Structure 1
Amino acid sequence: MKLTFRMHHSSPNLEECVTEHLTSKSQTYSDCNDNLLYLTATPHEVGLSAQWLGRISSTTQGFIDNQRLAGAVTLVARRGKVAHFEAYGMMDIKADKPMQKDTIFRIYSMTKPIAAVGVMMLCEEGRLTLDAPASVYLPELSGLKVAQDPEGDLFTPVKVDRAMTVQDLMQHTAGLPGAARYMGGNTAVDKLYREAGLHRLHECNLRELVERLGRIPLLYQPGTKWHYSIAADVLGRLIEVASAQPFDQFLAERIFQPLGMVDTGFYVPVEKIDRLAGMYGSKPSGGLQTIDAPEGGTGHISKASFIEKPRFLSAGGGLVSTASDFARFCLMLSGKGALSGKRLMKAESIELMTCNHLPENLIPLDKKPEDRYGGLGFGLGVSVRVQQTDWVPASQIGEYGWIGGTSTEFWISPRDELVSITLAQHIPFSALSHTVKPLVYAAIVKD
């Protein structure tokens, strides 16, 4: 299937926002951020059970009370309206600061779907084509070879069977490694990545990343394996080249500002720093401890992480956001490219993004059915549920979303017009979102 778009001109000149102020304030969460004020409803109005939504609150509070998390925010929306939005626990234990609905979180890999939306917008405008070789736009990636034995101490590079495409980058079938692999691996390919300085991505910009990747063999032939990787960061550079804008400027002007995502970006400005949540981990003896927050997309530990503009604008993990900001992004996806009368993208772009594109031999992403990746395929920047498993029996086929490495997650069920967002700042990944998911589905009132 040829994945191309005709030129689309509606995004820069968005329609006027048409919204109607809610007349009833009962259980509408009208005290939330202004950028969700017109997007709220009572549970009953959107076919949800207030009792089951209350169980989300009590379950999340249990994680706080048992010191499994310092704090969290949960949000559930249906039919384009937010019906549940709560904050729990502490955003900063030492400073005795309670978690707030407008607390700013490092969302890490939840950045990836936002970058994917940017690519799809450029496809609509004819500036990118999904099945085109990435080297058409990034000539540094022409002439790539593949390591014949990527797990060995020695390797003989061979020619690629076919070129890495833009779509390969979006669905992690490009042949690139993940940062965790080459930072700690001892194979010949891992060593080449370190010699190229790719274990110090915080010292690079996106252009330099692509230049260095062009000199190193791929791990496998493009299209033959799904391997979670730094491909999303390459998409950041692709967006820069296709749009002729810095990546952060493109996101701000084309996505964040039109959607009203007022607290989303690559760092927290000084006037908002008191809203940034602390990062926590579990003590071996039980309880919580403050830990350093790794820089988005690089793993680098620095006091400047997320409070100063980074050199490396990671499309794979560099953003901070709030629950209400990210809800607006999710409601746009759930609304097939439109939010409150504003159309950001074509509906068919969203549909293409959020359906599975992996062949059967690459599904599930993880062959262990008990793993969180069990039953998942992959779309363009998001995972897509293609099989039901015992690990997540409540999930619906077609549900899509993604996670961030410090206990952030979102998912959307198109069939149920349902959006769920769970945000915390905890390493390793908390079980909260997995525990909450069945409660969200159970809250749907059957007609």
Structure 2
Amino acid sequence: MSDTAASPESVGISSDRLARIRPAMQRWIDRGTIAGASMMIARRGTIVYAEQVGRMSKETDEALRSDAIFRIYSMTKPIVCTALMTLYEEGRFQLITPLATFIPAFANVKVLQQDKEVAPQRPITIGDLMTHLGGFTYDFLIDSPVGELYRQHELMHNAQRTLQQFVDELARLPLAYHPGTKWHYSVSIDVAAHVIEIIADQPLRHFLRERIFDPLGMVDTDFYVPPEKRHRLAAMYGVGDLGARGMTILQMFFNWQQGILERIDPQESYPVDQPETFARGGHGLFSTVQDYMRFALMLLNGGTLDGTRILGRKTLELMHANHIPPALLPWDIAGIAYPGYGFGLGSRVLMDVGLSGMPGTAGEFGWAGAATTYYWVDPAESFAGVFMTQYQGLDEPQRDFRALAYQAIVD
């Protein structure tokens, strides 16, 4: 499998139908929602579409570069879970292994229940961390009082802490839910990232470089952007910065309702220049469309790319099976449900196309980021897509991109 460009028609894609993507994205730019978008589509192992629309920023006339660098936020999660599963393949843990085996402080964690801290019904497992069943939450979520504790301790905002310091602080706070009783989007993959550091006895950044980035040729993906590359950073806009001090999803919604749309500088919570402290499992990476497509192509090809194997095929099948019991579906984020989807180890997993309301195939998987980055891998169709812009808000241009990509399949 290669990422060499191919004729769309040679792999069952219509060039005429792909041409619909650009004007659709231009409409988002004309409305002022985004400054630009970088997009890539692959089928049967080859790139069939790669295009940039718009500008690097709204304040300049510089066209969006093909090598533009984006803050990918939660699209960090699938990479970190893939890295952790390379250690699973070495027999270093099982999904049912208690988290406290590696981080003893979590043996004493409590659950905040009706203003009282109680013992959890069962321990947090390593599998819980990747499936969001661990009982944690996020600073910006408001459906549990534990979210307010996270905001008070600036878990997501404070980029000056190392990953170990972040997890140490988290372990002193109660859980929002009993492990295994509720799917809840959370900082749990940050904890999983620290488990990597403990097992491998090396910093997360170095481990990702050795296990994922260097083998796949992901030359621009890191928790750091060197000075000579910073002119390639795409500007960010939105209704607010999800990582800002005290920010909640409710405040983001109010800002969106009021028509707020402004340039955002997330340097304080998502710095370009602090790799000695800023490395996380749930967000934090910078990347490009080209780099992330190489990661996606590896997943699509059963764990290998250009002769380099990252994971075994059966491990990937385990990762991208649904791990969420039917009683806990559909899962939701901030009250927005995602029917038709289950969840695997770090990624959504499509189970019912009709319920999802989007084109796809059962078994498709992927994830997205807070600044409107998005990817999917559809093994049945041998089809992958990557979309990147820098917009924090409630509008969803990535859904248009996905629909337009799938409608171009004609075989």
TM-score, reference length from structure 2? 0.90
Could you tell me how far apart the structure 2 residues matched to 1:242 and 1:112 are? 18
Change (3 A) 1:286 1:213: closer
Contact 1:142 1:214 in 2 (8 A): no
Change (3 A) 1:429 1:341: farther
Could you tell me how far apart the structure 1 residues matched to 2:260 and 2:69 are? 23
Could you tell me how far apart the structure 1 residues matched to 2:210 and 2:364 are? 29
How far the C-alpha of 1:335 sits from its partner, in A, is 0.6
Contact 1:367 1:374 in 2 (8 A): no
- State the match for 1:12 in structure 2: none
- State the match for 2:123 in structure 1: 163
1:345 matched to 2:306? The reply is: no
Could you tell me how far apart the structure 1 residues matched to 2:276 and 2:189 are? 17
Q: Secondary structure at the match of 2:366?
A: strand
Change (3 A) 1:359 1:284: closer
* Unmatched runs of 5 consecutive residues or more in structure 2: 240-255
Could you tell me how far apart the structure 2 residues matched to 1:285 and 1:365 are? 28
Contact 2:185 2:333 in 1 (8 A): no
2:346 paired residue among 381, 398, 403: 381
1:78 paired residue among 15, 25, 43: 43
> Which amino acid is 1:291 matched to?
I
- State the match for 1:10 in structure 2: none
The superposition leaves residues 13-56 of structure 1 with CA deviations (integer Å, 9 ceiling, x where unpaired) of xxxxx97xxxxxxxxxxxxxxxx5xx221101222111111111
TM-score, reference length from structure 1? 0.83
Q: Secondary structure at the match of 2:291?
A: helix
1:173 matched to 2:173? The reply is: no
> Which amino acid is 2:118 matched to?
V
- State the match for 1:421 in structure 2: 386
- State the match for 1:291 in structure 2: 264
Q: Secondary structure at the match of 1:142?
A: helix
Could you tell me how far apart the structure 2 residues matched to 1:293 and 1:347 are? 37
Contact 2:216 2:295 in 1 (8 A): yes
How many residues align? The count is 395
- State the match for 1:201 in structure 2: 158
> Which amino acid is 2:132 matched to?
H
1:67 matched to 2:27? The reply is: no
Change (3 A) 1:410 1:348: same
> Which amino acid is 1:321 matched to?
S
Could you tell me how far apart the structure 1 residues matched to 2:156 and 2:371 are? 20
How far the C-alpha of 1:429 sits from its partner, in A, is 4.4
1:443 matched to 2:408? The reply is: yes
- State the match for 1:398 in structure 2: 363
How far the C-alpha of 1:115 sits from its partner, in A, is 0.3
> Which amino acid is 1:406 matched to?
A
> Which amino acid is 2:309 matched to?
R
Could you tell me how far apart the structure 2 residues matched to 1:53 and 1:286 are? 32
1:113 matched to 2:78? The reply is: yes
Change (3 A) 1:212 1:347: same
Contact 1:141 1:213 in 2 (8 A): no
1:51 paired residue among 16, 19, 25: 16
Deviates further, 210-219 or 261-270: 210-219
1:332 paired residue among 284, 288, 298: 298
- State the match for 1:247 in structure 2: 204
Q: Secondary structure at the match of 1:88?
A: strand
How far the C-alpha of 1:424 sits from its partner, in A, is 0.4
Could you tell me how far apart the structure 1 residues matched to 2:210 and 2:135 are? 31
> Which amino acid is 1:317 matched to?
H
* Unmatched runs of 5 consecutive residues or more in structure 1: 1-17, 20-35
Report the structure number with the largest CA radius of gyration. Answer: 1
Change (3 A) 1:159 1:330: same
Contact 1:119 1:128 in 2 (8 A): no
How far the C-alpha of 1:127 sits from its partner, in A, is 1.8
Contact 1:104 1:321 in 2 (8 A): yes
Could you tell me how far apart the structure 1 residues matched to 2:237 and 2:151 are? 29
Alpha-carbon RMSD across the aligned residues, in angstroms, is: 2.4
How far the C-alpha of 1:194 sits from its partner, in A, is 5.1
Identity of aligned residues (%): 40
- State the match for 2:277 in structure 1: 311
Q: Secondary structure at the match of 2:60?
A: coil
Could you tell me how far apart the structure 1 residues matched to 2:176 and 2:257 are? 36
Change (3 A) 1:294 1:352: farther
- State the match for 2:89 in structure 1: 124
Could you tell me how far apart the structure 1 residues matched to 2:259 and 2:349 are? 35
Contact 2:340 2:355 in 1 (8 A): no
Could you tell me how far apart the structure 2 residues matched to 1:357 and 1:185 are? 23
